[in-house]
Amino acid sequence: MNRTLSIDNQSVKYGDKAVINLNIARLISGTEIDLPIYAYRSKKPGPTVLLSGGLHGDEINGVEIVRRMIDQKVFDNLKCGSVIAIPVMNIYGFLNFSREVPDGKDINRSFPGSLSGSLASRVAYNLTHKVLQEIDFGLDFHTGGANRYNYPQTRFDPSDARAKEISEVFNASISLESKFIDKSFRKQAMKMDKTIVVYEAGESMRFDEQSITEGILGAKKVLAHFGMIDFTSEPQETIKCSESIWVRAKSSGILHLEKTSGQFVKSKEILATITDPFGNFKTKIKAPKGGTIIGHTNAPLVNQGDALYHIGN
């Protein structure tokens, strides 16, 4: 419960709203790169919540979720607490339609970062010291990468009771227990005694309306749960998964999906077939065990070993 809110030495008072342009670095052209951060404070104390998208610059559903919430003025009259809204955390990737920063590094594997490190490391450093430090908890919006579609799902580490609570309140179609990944934003938050719940929905570089609306709905439920906004809605069923497996391509070829995300499949059920352009072979891909399909690839051509389906249990 923050008494002060200060980002990059710019403080935001109770009852105020501010746009803070956090200077990150400079492009080769000399253009300065700023990270725009929207901060909203109620007159009443309460939790400080981060809503962030675009840590992977091509995962635009998350950008759209935060953008729409700013546009709809969801945070303009908070009943208590503060919201820090960052639609695009990876400005470089967003400009280049890419997951990473220009040197090919993933910001989400670069935490806590360093001021004298590579671009990814510098962005991570700024997010760690100027944003994470200020918050109590946050929702970080992602999508599947590399042609993979994720059915709307929250991800949290089961060792973090607050993350479990937030995930339950968010009430996405699916919740998946998922261990912390080294050097990730979520793990860095945990090290600082903060909580980040990740929402994964849709596919990179594709708007998916179901993913966007479910993300906004979940974020509003979380803010309402902590008394920050007035909002009520009907609860929906969340399929709770405590583990997941990947089903991979047994051979290279042309992929035809027979099952899709959100469907329940039984063990040995046929998920897809892989063929070659000449009709010489047809390989059936079967579910190694039953469960709910929580993600699938949309790639029409696959190589042996490529991830085809993500099945949760």
CB of 12 to Zn ion, least distance (A): 28
Strand partners of residue 59: none
- Rounded to 5 degrees, φ, ψ at 34 are -110, 150
What is the spatial distance between Cα 63 and Cα 40, in angstroms, rounded to a whole number?
Answer: 18
Output 183 or 286, the one with its CB closest to Zn ion: 183
What is the spatial distance between Cα 254 and Cα 163, in angstroms, rounded to a whole number?
Answer: 40
Angle made by CA atoms 311, 312, 313, in degrees to the nearest 5:
130
Candidates 36-44, 112-120, 134-142, 274-282 — which segment interacts with Zn ion by CB under 5 A? 134-142
CB of 233 to Zn ion, least distance (A): 26
| Number of residues lying near Zn ion (CB under 5 A) | 3
Using CB under 5 A as the binding rule, the residues of this chain from 100 to 119 that contact Zn ion are none
CB of 75 to Zn ion, least distance (A): 23
What is the spatial distance between Cα 70 and Cα 124, in angstroms, rounded to a whole number?
Answer: 24
CB of 253 to Zn ion, least distance (A): 28
CB of 143 to Zn ion, least distance (A): 6
CB of 282 to Zn ion, least distance (A): 34
Residue 164 in the binding site for Zn ion (CB under 5 A)? no
CB 106 within 8 A of CB 56: yes
CB of 59 to Zn ion, least distance (A): 5
Residue 142 in the binding site for Zn ion (CB under 5 A)? yes
What is the spatial distance between Cα 19 and Cα 6, in angstroms, rounded to a whole number?
Answer: 12
Using CB under 5 A as the binding rule, the residues of this chain from 36 to 65 that contact Zn ion are 56, 59
What is the spatial distance between Cα 304 and Cα 307, in angstroms, rounded to a whole number?
Answer: 9
Output 14 or 246, the one with its CB closest to Zn ion: 246
Token pair, residue 197, equals: 């719940």
Closest CA to 215 of 154, 297, 259: 154
Output 59 or 203, the one with its CB closest to Zn ion: 59
Token pair, residue 20, equals: 């803070």
Output 56 or 130, the one with its CB closest to Zn ion: 56
Output 82 or 184, the one with its CB closest to Zn ion: 184
CB of 108 to Zn ion, least distance (A): 6
- Which residue has the closest beta carbon to Zn ion? 142
What is the spatial distance between Cα 87 and Cα 67, in angstroms, rounded to a whole number?
Answer: 6
Cα–Cα distances (Å) from 289 to 8, 56, 176, 286, in that order, read 50, 31, 17, 9
Output 107 or 272, the one with its CB closest to Zn ion: 107
Output 85 or 229, the one with its CB closest to Zn ion: 85
Output 61 or 128, the one with its CB closest to Zn ion: 61
Residue 148 in the binding site for Zn ion (CB under 5 A)? no
DSSP string of 91-146?
HHHHHHT-SS-TTS--GGGSTT--TTS-HHHHHHHHIIIIIGGG-SEEEEEEEEST
Candidates 86-94, 131-139, 141-149, 162-170 — which segment interacts with Zn ion by CB under 5 A? 141-149
What is the spatial distance between Cα 26 and Cα 6, in angstroms, rounded to a whole number?
Answer: 23
Residue 155 in the binding site for Zn ion (CB under 5 A)? no
CB of 70 to Zn ion, least distance (A): 20
Residue 186 in the binding site for Zn ion (CB under 5 A)? no
Output 75 or 111, the one with its CB closest to Zn ion: 111
- Residue 155: count other Cβ atoms within 10 Å of its Cβ: 24
Residues that bind Zn ion (CB under 5 A): 56, 59, 142
